[in-house]
């Protein structure tokens, strides 16, 4: 699929069929994520791939995302039906170690990052999974988690303290009932989103 078509079709899919994601497609999703850029080529993110139903159930038991109203509860059940979950994790320590190496150590510690690049790089990896899912004809959605999720998640899956999840990427085949994407009128105009030359224009 051409890149412009992938970008046009990309959307968050929250309702999945019970069709499994093939091993070949999973490998392709992971391969795409591993092409993500990383500051200093630190490669300080990791991926946890969950496809076994028991593993996925452990994941959902660890999460505390339990919407109180029926409509959101239905949406949660639809998303939990996703046959594959890819969890991007990042390590702050990996970046601090990398930027203490001789080729980077000339940068004063307080000037290294305006933002935590361990999150940025893991986000790049997650985005590549979302785009590759479209290319493969799959649906995917990125969802966040609360801080209470992290220790339970680490315990459930033996994740070292040095790594933290930035969210969950759910992947599967779109359910036939998936409706249209958000209507175009909900998109903010380009003039509001993009500033050229300086904020607010010249």
- Report pLDDT for 67: 57
Q: Across the strands, what pairs with 50? A: 85
118 within domain boundaries: yes
- Report pLDDT for 181: 54
Question: Using H for helix, E for strand and C for coil, what is the string for 156-193?
Answer: HHCCCCCCEECCEEEEECECCCCCCCCCHHHCCCHHHH
Please give the DSSP secondary-structure letter assigned to residue 198. Answer: S
Residue 169 contacts residue 84 (beta carbons within 8 Å): no
202 within domain boundaries: no
Kind and range of the H or E run holding 93:
helix 92-98
Residue 84 contacts residue 26 (beta carbons within 8 Å): yes
- Our count of domains for the chain comes to 1
200 within domain boundaries: no
pLDDT in tens, the chain (202 residues): 888 787 788 888 888 988 999 999 999 999 999 999 999 999 999 999 999 999 999 999 888 656 566 666 777 788 888 999 999 999 999 999 998 898 887 777 666 788 899 999 999 999 999 999 999 999 999 999 888 889 999 999 999 999 999 999 999 998 877 665 555 567 788 888 888 888 887 6
- Report pLDDT for 1: 82
Measured CA distances, 88 to 7, 8, 27, 50, 116 (Å):
21, 24, 15, 11, 15
201 within domain boundaries: no
- Report pLDDT for 75: 75
157 within domain boundaries: yes
E runs forming strands in 33-75: 45-50
Residue 51 contacts by C-beta under 8 Å, 6 or more apart in sequence?
20, 21, 26, 83, 84, 85
17 within domain boundaries: yes
- Report pLDDT for 65: 59
- Report pLDDT for 47: 98
CATH number for the domain harbouring residue 92 = 3.40.109.10
Residue 48 contacts residue 90 (beta carbons within 8 Å): no
14 within domain boundaries: yes
- Report pLDDT for 46: 97
Range of the domain at 129: 3-178
Residue 130 contacts residue 169 (beta carbons within 8 Å): yes
- Report pLDDT for 79: 81
199 within domain boundaries: no
């Amino acid at each position: 699929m051409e890149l412009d078509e992938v970008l046009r079709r990309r959307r968050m899919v929250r309702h999945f069929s019970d069709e499994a994601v093939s091993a070949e497609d999973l490998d392709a999703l992971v391969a795409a994520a591993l092409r993500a850029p990383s500051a200093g080529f630190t490669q300080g993110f990791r991926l946890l791939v969950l496809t076994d139903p028991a593993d996925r159930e452990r994941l959902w038991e660890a999460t505390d995302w339990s919407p109180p109203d029926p409509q959101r509860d239905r949406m949660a059940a639809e998303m939990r039906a996703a046959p594959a979950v890819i969890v991007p994790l990042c390590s702050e320590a990996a970046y601090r170690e990398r930027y203490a190496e001789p080729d980077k150590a000339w940068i004063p510690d307080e000037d290294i990052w305006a933002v935590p690049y361990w999150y940025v790089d893991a986000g790049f990896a997650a985005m590549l999974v979302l785009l590759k899912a479209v290319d493969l004809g799959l649906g995917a959605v990125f969802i966040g988690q609360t801080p209470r999720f992290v220790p339970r998640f680490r315990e459930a899956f033996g994740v070292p303290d040095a790594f933290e999840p930035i969210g969950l990427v759910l992947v599967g085949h779109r359910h036939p009932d998936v409706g249209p994407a958000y209507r175009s009128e909900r998109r903010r105009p380009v003039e509001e989103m993009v500033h050229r030359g300086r904020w607010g224009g010249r």
